[in-house]
């Protein structure tokens, strides 16, 4: 292609942005060009950040809201987000907080401070994932052990450094331009002296909790420019003196008082966040002089809300009720605990219900509760749903905004979902064709074998429709094995099994963690804790060495959990337990781990279920996160089912290689190489948030997984037949992703032209001008 044609094509593709400076000499290498572009971009970003920081330090925000990201209902966390246009402040960061923000379209950028009420795992489980997502320095305030917590956060990702620090000094609190937060420590009664006096130096571990008293500063009144004009105040420094509250004498001798040209100062407001973890903390709570000072009303900093993070058994206690009644009647008491409705991740409910409209055998709508426990009202507490927003400022707009909650309840209404489906072009036609095709399928497999439950099928961060990796193998009715356990797994477990979750959880006898990345292991602690409430038996954790170290370190911060399980390190087995004993306890015929290509110490697993009665053995292989890995092919050869990650579509092969993941076609090819009887794809990038966009030419014995899907071996023939229905059902997602690919190709074309222009210019003996 000639230089002139190249240049013309570059203009057609709007490539001229690289040459904005007129007759600029283009005589530098591609590497330097890219470096200059990157440096310019970083410079603009840094300048924007400096401007933002300056505004946040000098300006009072025009709005302040409190968003409920977790209302404490089982299995939701207790979590509040304070939002201004300059900064965000998070109170507790449990499992599901990040997913709730995504679901309810709450942006988390600009958040640098997280305040933890008590160092239980319920309050900090989402911290590592949140820090990785934000990719900026975050300070965690609260009764936390600095060294160990920082060490734990380093466990999850060797490529990205988590920028994280801890402030556990309750004497200094926190203050910025518009907000002051006092840290008031309370502690268990055992930590008090024999006379019952409160210890001056609380222990910074599980015996301590922080109450946060948050005061929004008074907002200075604005200078009334029109009033100054009427009083003939000359422009200049005099206006600044008046705004600062100084009375000024003009040249003509008139005295202008500041109070006459400035709006009245708006009073600040106060809200309080209280977690009394158990009744053992109650004496310390009621003996706090700082908290008692709020029993009397204040005109300057009126107490508006108390958000109660305490569990129901504490709040129901008569002594706690008496303490609550000592606050002024104007104070609103808001409950974030088990009595609230559990509805949170409505996107997953909508997807599951849509899938059930054409295939109700494989898909199950998650269990939710939409109404609070009526006992909350009797306890003088106001229930809240996830998505509730408290408008704190401006005062004229102070209110509780339930618009998001009402919209959420409307969206999950089955009639509205079905109406939306009926609007989809050709849906009824392709759904009917699908049903005809599956009715002609012969039942080659018995229906009484193992079942596979997909709790989480997304990659990286938890998404609105797909959450982090977790798969259950129901080898028998009373024996469950889990593959990976990402953030929010217990919540998914609870929502899938509903009221029967306790029996199922007690029968979860083994958990395989494929590697140490956060999206595959952050749900482990909560799952172990909840299971320990139901049975004294210990599950087996099959995992890389880092997971064992994480459980050990965590036990020093938030209560022992390493004693709740047995550990079998990959690729070896548990010391003291023979392979035969292990297989017998798990009711397996064979178990083997194999190294796969991803991060350090990444493993896949092969299990063969035990033959019992008319149940024949089944060979199941799970890849974990991996590129196509030869070391998994031989042990998995001839398997009945391969569950393989398929993070990227085939167009993104370079990204798959860089991040050591597999594409759709690579995952299917692994099934062919392994001679697997069937392959199910999972672990999809969140860009395929509803359904992966499979190329038409990709065919074979495979299907795609969805959250809340339960499939038996007899159901496998149904999965390939669903492809045409999914394309119609999720046509909007298909079109959106196709636009993404088209834009990507256009960008690649622009880069190629830019490269050609630079190469051509560099090869000329004479300067090349635009």
pLDDT digits (tens, 9 = 90+) for 721-730: 999 999 889 8
List Cβ neighbours of 201 (8 Å cut-off, separation of 6 or more): none
Q: How far is CA 461 from the centre of its chain?
A: 6
Structural domain of 610:
448-715+723-729
Q: Name the pLDDT band for 765 (thresholds 50, 70, 90).
A: very low
Q: How far apart are alpha carbons 502 and 330 in whole angstroms?
A: 41
CATH number of the domain where residue 312 is located:
3.60.15
Range among 295-299, 516-520, 556-560 with highest mean pLDDT value: 516-520
Residue 425 main-chain phi, psi, to 5 deg: -60, 130
For residues 552 and 760, which has the higher predicted lDDT (pLDDT)?
A: 552
**Do 315 and 251 share a structural domain?**
no
Res 62: pLDDT: 87
Q: How far apart are alpha carbons 125 and 119 in whole angstroms?
A: 10
Cα–Cα nearest to 693, from 761, 702, 684, 152: 684
Q: Name the pLDDT band for 56 (thresholds 50, 70, 90).
A: low
Question: Tokens at residue 534, please?
Answer: 């139901």
In this model, does residue 49 exceed pLDDT 90? no
Asked whether residue 210 is domain-assigned, the answer is: no
In this model, does residue 518 exceed pLDDT 70? yes
Name the domain boundary from 407, 436, 467. Answer: 407
List Cβ neighbours of 682 (8 Å cut-off, separation of 6 or more): 454, 457, 469, 471, 643, 644, 645, 646, 704, 705
Distance of CA 712 to CAs 357, 505, 614, 641, Å?
19, 20, 16, 11
In this model, does residue 28 exceed pLDDT 50? no
Cα–Cα nearest to 86, from 116, 119, 54: 54
Crossing angle, helix 346-356 and helix 403-411, to 10 degrees?
A: 20
Res 19: pLDDT: 32
**Do 687 and 593 share a structural domain?**
yes
**Do 142 and 32 share a structural domain?**
no
For residues 306 and 555, which has the higher predicted lDDT (pLDDT)?
A: 306
**Do 53 and 69 share a structural domain?**
no
For residues 332 and 189, which has the higher predicted lDDT (pLDDT)?
A: 332
**Do 611 and 557 share a structural domain?**
yes
Question: Tokens at residue 630, please?
Answer: 């030869």
In this model, does residue 433 exceed pLDDT 90? yes
CB atoms within 10 A of CB 489: 29
- Three-state secondary-structure class, residue 605: strand
Res 711: pLDDT: 98
In this model, does residue 8 exceed pLDDT 50? no
Question: Tokens at residue 687, please?
Answer: 């860009």
CB atoms within 10 A of CB 490: 27
**Do 381 and 336 share a structural domain?**
yes
Question: Tokens at residue 476, please?
Answer: 């028998």
List Cβ neighbours of 415 (8 Å cut-off, separation of 6 or more): none
**Strand 540-543 to strand 508-512: parallel, antiparallel, or no bridges (unpaired)?**
parallel
Question: Tokens at residue 127, please?
Answer: 């911290």
Asked whether residue 428 is domain-assigned, the answer is: no
Asked whether residue 213 is domain-assigned, the answer is: no
Res 203: pLDDT: 46
For residues 53 and 411, which has the higher predicted lDDT (pLDDT)?
A: 411
In this model, does residue 191 exceed pLDDT 70? no
Q: How far apart are alpha carbons 731 and 738 in whole angstroms?
A: 10
Asked whether residue 122 is domain-assigned, the answer is: yes
For residues 510 and 401, which has the higher predicted lDDT (pLDDT)?
A: 510
What stretches of 508-572 adopt beta strand conformation (E)? 508-512, 540-543, 566-569
Res 465: pLDDT: 94
Distance of CA 617 to CAs 215, 476, 610, Å?
64, 11, 5
The full DSSP string for 366-400 is PP---S--THHHHTT-B---TT-EEEEESGGG-EE
Q: Which stretch of 24-38, 471-485, 628-642, 721-735 has the lowest confidence by average pLDDT?
A: 24-38
Helices (H) and strands (E) in the chain, counts: 29, 29
**80 and 68 in contact (C-beta within 8 Å)?**
yes
- N- to C-terminal Cα separation, the chain: 18
pLDDT digits (tens, 9 = 90+) for 325-379: 999 999 999 999 999 999 999 999 999 999 999 999 999 999 999 899 999 888 9
Mean pLDDT of 600-618: 92
Q: Name the pLDDT band for 165 (thresholds 50, 70, 90).
A: confident
Q: How far apart are alpha carbons 14 and 24 in whole angstroms?
A: 17
Name the domain boundary from 374, 407, 440. Answer: 407
Residue 762 main-chain phi, psi, to 5 deg: -65, -30
**Do 612 and 466 share a structural domain?**
yes
Asked whether residue 290 is domain-assigned, the answer is: no
CATH number of the domain where residue 606 is located:
3.60.15.10
What percent of the chain lies above the pLDDT cut of 90? 60
Domain count, the chain: 4
Res 394: pLDDT: 85
Q: Name the pLDDT band for 445 (thresholds 50, 70, 90).
A: confident
pLDDT digits (tens, 9 = 90+) for 210-228: 999 999 998 888 899 999 9
For residues 623 and 134, which has the higher predicted lDDT (pLDDT)?
A: 623
Give me Rg for the CA atoms of the chain.
Answer: 30
pLDDT digits (tens, 9 = 90+) for 624-683: 999 999 999 999 999 999 999 999 999 899 999 999 999 999 999 999 999 999 999 999
pLDDT digits (tens, 9 = 90+) for 73-114: 999 999 999 999 999 999 999 999 999 999 999 999 999 999
DSSP single-letter state for residue 656: H
In this model, does residue 246 exceed pLDDT 50? yes
**Do 572 and 477 share a structural domain?**
yes
Res 152: pLDDT: 66
Distance of CA 606 to CAs 586, 623, 679, Å?
13, 9, 14
Asked whether residue 511 is domain-assigned, the answer is: yes
Question: Tokens at residue 522, please?
Answer: 């952050």
In this model, does residue 254 exceed pLDDT 50? yes
For residues 487 and 269, which has the higher predicted lDDT (pLDDT)?
A: 487
Q: How far apart are alpha carbons 645 and 668 in whole angstroms?
A: 10
Asked whether residue 295 is domain-assigned, the answer is: no
What percent of the chain lies above the pLDDT cut of 70? 83
Asked whether residue 519 is domain-assigned, the answer is: yes
Q: How far apart are alpha carbons 33 and 19 in whole angstroms?
A: 11
**Strand 389-393 to strand 332-335: parallel, antiparallel, or no bridges (unpaired)?**
unpaired
Res 47: pLDDT: 54
Res 148: pLDDT: 65
- Three-state secondary-structure class, residue 202: coil
List Cβ neighbours of 353 (8 Å cut-off, separation of 6 or more): 365, 412, 414, 417
Give 612: exposed, middle or buried? Use CB within 10 Å, 0-12, 13-18, 19+.
exposed
Res 205: pLDDT: 60
**Do 123 and 54 share a structural domain?**
no
Mean pLDDT of 44-53: 53
**Do 743 and 674 share a structural domain?**
no
Q: Name the pLDDT band for 12 (thresholds 50, 70, 90).
A: very low
Distance of CA 313 to CAs 169, 185, 270, 310, 496, Å?
29, 21, 26, 8, 26
**Do 614 and 503 share a structural domain?**
yes
Res 364: pLDDT: 92
Res 770: pLDDT: 34
> pTM of the predicted model, to two decimals?
0.86
Phi-psi region of 530 (alpha: psi -120 to 50; beta: other; left: phi over 0): alpha
Give 235: exposed, middle or buried? Use CB within 10 Å, 0-12, 13-18, 19+.
exposed
In this model, does residue 68 exceed pLDDT 70? yes
For residues 205 and 720, which has the higher predicted lDDT (pLDDT)?
A: 720
Q: Which stretch of 295-299, 317-321, 678-682, 758-762 has the lowest confidence by average pLDDT?
A: 758-762
Mean pLDDT of 512-538: 95
User: What mean pLDDT, rounded, does the chain reach?
Assistant: 85
Cα–Cα nearest to 715, from 747, 688, 680, 672: 680
Place of tokens 């408290």: 390
Name the domain boundary from 407, 437, 463. Answer: 407
**Do 108 and 142 share a structural domain?**
yes
Distance of CA 770 to CAs 6, 141, 765, Å?
12, 55, 16
Q: Which stretch of 19-28, 184-193, 241-250 has the lowest confidence by average pLDDT?
A: 19-28
Res 764: pLDDT: 52
**598 and 626 in contact (C-beta within 8 Å)?**
yes
């Amino acid at each position: 292609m000639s230089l002139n044609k190249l240049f013309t094509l570059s203009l057609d593709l709007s490539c001229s942005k690289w040459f904005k400076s007129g007759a600029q000499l283009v005589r530098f290498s591609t590497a330097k060009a890219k470096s200059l572009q990157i440096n310019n971009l970083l410079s603009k970003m840094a300048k924007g950040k400096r401007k933002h920081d300056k505004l946040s330090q000098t300006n009072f925000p025009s709005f302040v809201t409190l968003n409920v990201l977790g209302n404490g209902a089982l299995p939701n966390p207790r979590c509040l987000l304070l939002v201004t246009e300059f900064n965000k402040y998070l109170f507790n960061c449990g499992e599901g907080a990040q997913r709730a923000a995504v679901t309810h379209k709450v942006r988390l950028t600009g958040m640098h401070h997280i305040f933890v009420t008590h160092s239980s795992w319920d309050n900090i489980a989402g911290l590592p994932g949140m820090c990785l997502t934000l990719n900026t320095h975050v300070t965690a305030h609260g009764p936390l052990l600095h060294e160990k917590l920082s060490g734990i956060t380093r466990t999850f990702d060797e490529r990205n450094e988590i920028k994280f620090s801890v402030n556990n000094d309750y004497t200094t609190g926190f203050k910025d331009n518009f907000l002051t937060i006092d840290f008031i420590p309370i502690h268990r009664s055992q930590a008090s002296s024999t006379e019952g006096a409160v210890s001056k130096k609380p222990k910074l571990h599980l015996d301590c909790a922080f109450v946060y008293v948050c005061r929004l500063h008074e907002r200075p009144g604005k200078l009334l420019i029109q009033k100054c004009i009427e009083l003939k105040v000359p422009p200049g420094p005099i206006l600044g003196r008046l705004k600062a509250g100084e009375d000024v004498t003009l040249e003509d001798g008139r005295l202008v008082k500041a109070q006459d040209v400035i709006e009245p100062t708006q009073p600040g407001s106060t809200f309080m966040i209280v977690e009394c973890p158990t009744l053992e903390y109650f004496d310390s709570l009621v003996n706090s002089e700082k908290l008692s000072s709020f029993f009397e009303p204040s005109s300057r900093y009126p107490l508006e809300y108390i958000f109660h993070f305490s569990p129901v058994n504490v709040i129901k206690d008569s002594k706690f009720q008496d303490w609550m009644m000592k606050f002024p009647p104007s104070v609103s008491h808001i409950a974030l605990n088990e009595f609230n409705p559990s509805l949170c991740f409505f996107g997953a409910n909508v997807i599951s219900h849509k899938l059930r409209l054409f295939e109700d055998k494989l898909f199950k709508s998650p269990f939710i509760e939409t109404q609070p426990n009526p006992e909350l009202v009797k306890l003088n507490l106001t229930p809240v749903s996830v998505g509730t927003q408290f408008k704190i400022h401006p005062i004229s707009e102070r209110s509780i905004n339930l618009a998001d909650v009402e919209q959420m309840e409307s969206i999950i209404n089955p009639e509205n979902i079905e109406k939306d489906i009926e609007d989809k072009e050709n849906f009824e036609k392709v759904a009917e064709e699908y049903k005809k095709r599956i009715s002609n399928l012969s039942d080659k497999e018995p229906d009484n074998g193992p079942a596979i439950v997909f709790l989480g099928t997304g990659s990286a961060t938890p998404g609105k429709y797909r959450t982090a990796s977790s798969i259950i193998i129901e080898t028998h009715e009373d024996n469950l094995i889990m593959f990976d356990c990402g953030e929010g797994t217990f919540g998914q477990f609870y929502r899938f099994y509903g009221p029967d979750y306790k029996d199922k959880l007690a029968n979860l006898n083994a958990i395989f963690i494929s590697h140490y990345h956060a999206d595959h292991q952050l749900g482990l602690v909560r799952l172990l804790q909840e299971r320990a409430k139901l049975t004294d038996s210990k599950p087996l954790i099959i995992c890389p060495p880092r997971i064992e170290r994480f459980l050990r370190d965590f036990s020093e911060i938030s209560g022992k959990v390493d004693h709740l399980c047995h550990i079998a390190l990959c690729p070896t087995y548990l010391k003291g337990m023979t392979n035969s004993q292990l297989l017998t306890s798990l009711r397996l015929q064979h178990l083997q781990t194999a190294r796969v290509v991803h991060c350090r110490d990444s493993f896949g697993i092969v299990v063969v279920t035990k033959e019992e009665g008319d149940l024949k053995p089944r060979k199941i292989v799970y890849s974990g996160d991996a590129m196509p890995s030869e070391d998994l092919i031989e042990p998995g050869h001839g398997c009945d089912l391969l569950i393989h990650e398929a993070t990227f579509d085939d167009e993104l092969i370079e990204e798959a290689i860089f991040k050591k993941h597999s594409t759709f076609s690579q995952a299917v090819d692994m099934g062919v190489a392994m001679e697997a009887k069937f392959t199910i794809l999972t672990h999809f990038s969140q860009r395929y948030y509803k359904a992966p966009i499979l190329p038409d030419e990709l065919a074979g014995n495979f299907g795609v997984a969805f959250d809340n899907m339960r499939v038996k071996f007899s159901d496998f023939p149904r999965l390939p037949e669903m492809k045409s229905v999914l394309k119609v059902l999720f046509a909007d997602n298909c079109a959106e992703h196709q636009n993404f690919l088209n834009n990507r190709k256009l960008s690649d074309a622009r880069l190629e032209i830019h490269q050609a222009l630079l190469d051509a210019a560099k090869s000329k003996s004479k300067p090349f001008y635009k």
